[in-house]
A = this chain, B = another copy of it.
Amino acid sequence: MLKVGIVGGTGYTGAELLRLIATHPEAEVAMITSRAEDGLPVDELFPSLRGTTNLRFSVPEVDKLASCDVVFFATPHNVAMKLVPELLAAGTRVVDLSADFRIRDAKLWSEWYHEEHLCPDLLAEAVYGLPETHKEAITTARLVACAGCYPTAVELGFLPLLEEKLVNPQQLIASAASGVSGAGRQAKIDNLLAELDGSFKAYGVSGHRHLPEIEQELALAAGGPVGLTFTPHLLPQVRGIHATLYSQILDSAVGLDELQFLFEKRFANEPFVDVMPLGSLPQTRTVRGSNMCRIALHRPQNRDTIVVLSVIDNLVKGASGQAIQNMNLMFGLPETMGLEAVALLP
> Does A144 interact with chain B (Cβ within 8 Å)?
no
- Among the listed stretches A27-35, A66-74, A125-133, A193-201, which one makes contact with chain B, having 4 or more residues with CB under 8 Å of it? A193-201
> Does A328 interact with chain B (Cβ within 8 Å)?
no
> Does A121 interact with chain B (Cβ within 8 Å)?
no
B contact residues around A233 at 8 Å (CB): 177, 242, 244
A344 to B202, CA, bound (A): 19
> Does A346 interact with chain B (Cβ within 8 Å)?
yes
> Does A227 interact with chain B (Cβ within 8 Å)?
yes
User: Scoring A residues 219 to 242 as 1 if CB is less than 8 Å from chain B, else 0, what string do you get?
Assistant: 000000001011101011111101
* Contacts A173-B305, A193-B236, A346-B194 given; does A284 touch B200 at CB 8 Å: yes
B289 touching A238, Cβ below 8 Å: no
B185 touching A192, Cβ below 8 Å: yes
A173: nearest residue on chain B (CB-CB)? B246
* Copies of the chain in the assembly: 4
User: Scoring A residues 191 to 217 as 1 if CB is less than 8 Å from chain B, else 0, what string do you get?
Assistant: 111111111111101110001000000
A303 to B236, CA, bound (A): 30
In whole Å, how far is A183's beta carbon from the nearest beta carbon of chain B? Answer: 7
B contact residues around A196 at 8 Å (CB): 193
A237 to B234, CA, bound (A): 13
> Does A189 interact with chain B (Cβ within 8 Å)?
yes
B contact residues around A323 at 8 Å (CB): none
> Does A345 interact with chain B (Cβ within 8 Å)?
yes
17 A-B interface contacts by CB (under 8 A): A22-B342, A23-B342, A46-B345, A47-B294, A50-B294, A175-B244, A180-B193, A180-B194, A181-B346, A186-B189, A191-B194, A197-B198, A200-B242, A200-B283, A205-B281, A315-B346, A341-B341
